[in-house]
């Protein structure tokens, strides 16, 4: 009986030892409960599962989510691995969804150990994110920018090397607005800050009237030709579809004036047509012509075309014909009035400024003669001549613009109202400009069918002449200008041909 009693006592003592060493739950159960509470945002329950949680445990979690603008959290634990007697760990991956950046993945490790006969989480800041180790912090910073991006009418980026930068860049301050960007920084004491995620401030986007394919074709047509410019306008609206400017010496195709040469004959022809001269009228085009008791004038290369129609005198750019007709049928006031009707003397509200030119008053018959062929004191801008060609095509002069009408009014003021042109005059000018390309000074130069235009060669004292070519095809009107480039046919017409082939 004593043996049995002793055995019973020993057995009871062994049971008491086993019971005293029994661990509540398992590492897997504690880890699962912790991850579930973390997903649900139950910070109190998370703290209960942690061994001696720091006093700011809950605050740390809340502050990190608030600082990073966390909208959601996903956690994917791996298997529980034993790391020793009463210790374990769980590698896990997570994804925080940040308001400014979207999904931001991370990975960390949850460590566990037996404490006071229960499995507990051994928490440290790097449990939240590995970069919080050793006093590291994660901070979301705000950046600001007033960057402006001007785009084409289609919303596309302006083509590279567009030769329009000199006009677009000064426009940008007109549209500056502050936009915010963001940067997520990792900061570790004693180390430089590291940018983990960045979101650049969005540029303020403004559309211009430039057409991407038209601007690209215009720019490429100027490649290899210095001191040149091409402006393309939509006659039906006045919108500038292309503005490519390679003029040197800080010259501007929009603001600076040059002698127009024979492209001004469009205006002289309009004045003569309005005075009653018929396009079919037979006129002399001799190599030279002297105004009675005044100076003598010559055609280019002293060309003698004999007797031709007024239309063909225009097509062959007969200086002698135009001077004779202008000095016998027009006054300086009438020539200037015609120029004003077709755009001279008007302010241009384009969004980038601009001007047309001037036809000064004179009582000198020789100066009237020179002005009538675009020499003398007449000056104009390539922009003005592009608008002139557009008015011939559409029958209405429209103020050219590079921006929307609302934007133009805000920057440059109210543009000039549309001006309907004389239908008979514009119809005749269209036939005359078609003849220039068909059998005149721009014929056989590779221009596509449907192009009508007028060449111009403007003499410059002591320098090479300026080359001009203006015209239109369908709803595209253009002006090509080559400063000190030579004749209009040799310098400007090939650029127009390259432009149309590049469309």
> What are the residues whose beta carbons fall under 8 Å from the beta carbon of 63, sequence distance 6 or more?
none
From residue 158, alpha-carbon distances to 50, 61, 399 in Å are 59, 47, 23
Query: CA angle at residue 315 from 311 to 318, to 5 degrees?
Result: 95
- pLDDT value for 18: 31
User: Are the C-beta atoms of residues 375 and 460 closer than 8 Å to each other?
Assistant: no
Q: Kindly report the backbone phi and psi dihedral angles of residue 226, in degrees, each rounded to the nearest multiple of 5, phi listed first.
A: -75, 165
* pTM, entire model: 0.77
Pairwise CA distance, residues 204 & 503, whole Å: 29
Query: Percentage of the chain with pLDDT > 90?
Result: 89
**Dmax over Cα atoms in the chain, in whole Å?**
163
Pairwise CA distance, residues 187 & 192, whole Å: 7
**Alpha helices of 113-209 — where are they, by DSSP H?**
125-128, 165-168
Q: Which residue has the tokens 């504690």?
A: 30
| Top-confidence residue, 257 or 147 | 257
Q: To 10 degrees, what angle do helices 212-222 and 493-502 make? A: 140
Pairwise CA distance, residues 459 & 446, whole Å: 25
Q: Which tens digits make up the pLDDT trace of 69-118? A: 999 999 999 999 999 999 999 999 999 999 999 999 999 999 999 999 99
Give yes or no for residue 6 having a pLDDT over 80.
no
Q: Residue 225: pLDDT band by 50, 70, 90 thresholds? A: very high
- pLDDT value for 21: 57
Pairwise CA distance, residues 181 & 219, whole Å: 34
| Top-confidence residue, 24 or 308 | 308
Kind of pairing between the strands at 87-98 and 70-84 = antiparallel
Ramachandran assignment for 211, one of left (phi > 0), alpha (psi -120 to 50 degrees), beta (any other): beta
User: Are the C-beta atoms of residues 496 and 478 closer than 8 Å to each other?
Assistant: yes
Q: Which tens digits make up the pLDDT trace of 371-420? A: 999 999 999 999 999 999 999 999 999 999 999 999 999 999 999 999 99
Q: Which tens digits make up the pLDDT trace of 169-195? A: 999 888 877 678 899 999 999 999 999
- pLDDT value for 76: 98
Give yes or no for residue 456 having a pLDDT over 60.
yes
- pLDDT value for 3: 30
Pairwise CA distance, residues 32 & 46, whole Å: 11
User: Are the C-beta atoms of residues 112 and 92 closer than 8 Å to each other?
Assistant: no
Q: Which tens digits make up the pLDDT trace of 234-286? A: 999 999 999 999 999 999 999 999 999 999 999 999 999 999 999 999 999 99
């Amino acid at each position: 009986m004593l043996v049995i009693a002793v055995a019973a006592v020993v057995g009871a003592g062994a049971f008491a030892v086993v019971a005293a060493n029994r661990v509540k739950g398992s590492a897997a159960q504690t880890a699962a409960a912790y991850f579930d509470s973390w997903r649900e945002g139950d910070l109190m329950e998370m703290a209960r599962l942690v061994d001696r949680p720091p006093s700011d445990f809950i605050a740390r979690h809340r502050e990190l989510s608030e600082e990073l603008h966390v909208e959601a959290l996903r956690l994917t634990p791996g298997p529980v691995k034993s790391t020793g007697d009463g210790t374990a760990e769980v590698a896990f991956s997570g994804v925080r969804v940040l308001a400014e950046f979207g999904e931001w993945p991370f990975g960390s490790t949850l460590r566990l150990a037996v404490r006071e006969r229960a499995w507990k989480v051994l928490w440290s800041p790097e449990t939240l994110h590995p970069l919080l180790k050793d006093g590291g912090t994660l901070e979301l910073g705000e950046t600001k920018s007033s960057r402006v991006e001007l785009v084409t009418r289609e919303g596309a980026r302006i083509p590279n090397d567009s030769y329009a930068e000199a006009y677009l860049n000064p426009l940008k301050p007109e549209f500056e607005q502050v936009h915010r960007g963001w940067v997520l920084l990792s900061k570790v004491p004693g180390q430089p800050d590291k940018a983990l995620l960045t979101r650049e401030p969005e540029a303020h986007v403004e559309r211009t009237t430039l057409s991407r394919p038209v601007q690209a074709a215009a720019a490429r047509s100027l490649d290899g030709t210095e001191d040149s410019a091409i402006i393309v306008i939509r006659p039906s609206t006045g919108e500038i579809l292309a503005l490519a400017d390679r003029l040197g010496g800080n010259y501007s195709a929009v603001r600076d004036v040059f002698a127009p040469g024979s492209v001004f004959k469009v205006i002289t022809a309009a004045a003569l047509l309005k005075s009653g001269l018929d396009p079919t009228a037979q006129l002399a085009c001799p190599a030279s012509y002297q105004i009675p008791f005044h100076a003598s004038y010559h055609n280019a290369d002293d060309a003698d075309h004999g007797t031709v129609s007024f239309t063909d005198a225009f097509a062959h750019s007969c200086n002698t014909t135009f001077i004779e007709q202008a000095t016998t049928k027009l006054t300086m006031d009438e020539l200037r009035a015609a120029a004003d009707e077709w755009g001279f003397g008007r302010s241009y509200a384009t969004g980038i400024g601009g001007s047309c030119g001037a036809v000064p008053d004179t009582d000198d018959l020789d100066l009237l003669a020179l002005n009538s062929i675009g020499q003398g004191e007449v000056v104009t801008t390539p922009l003005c001549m592009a608008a002139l060609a557009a008015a011939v095509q559409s029958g209405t002069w429209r103020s050219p613009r590079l921006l929307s009408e609302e934007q133009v009014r805000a920057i440059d003021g109210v543009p000039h109202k549309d001006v309907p042109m004389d239908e008979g005059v514009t119809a005749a000018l269209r036939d005359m400009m078609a003849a220039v390309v068909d059998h005149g000074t721009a014929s056989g130069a590779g221009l596509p069918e449907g192009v009508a235009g007028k060449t111009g060669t403007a003499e410059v004292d002591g320098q090479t002449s300026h080359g001009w070519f203006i015209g239109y095809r369908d709803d595209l009107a253009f002006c090509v200008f080559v400063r000190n480039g030579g004749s209009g046919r040799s310098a400007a017409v090939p650029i127009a041909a390259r432009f149309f082939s590049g469309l």
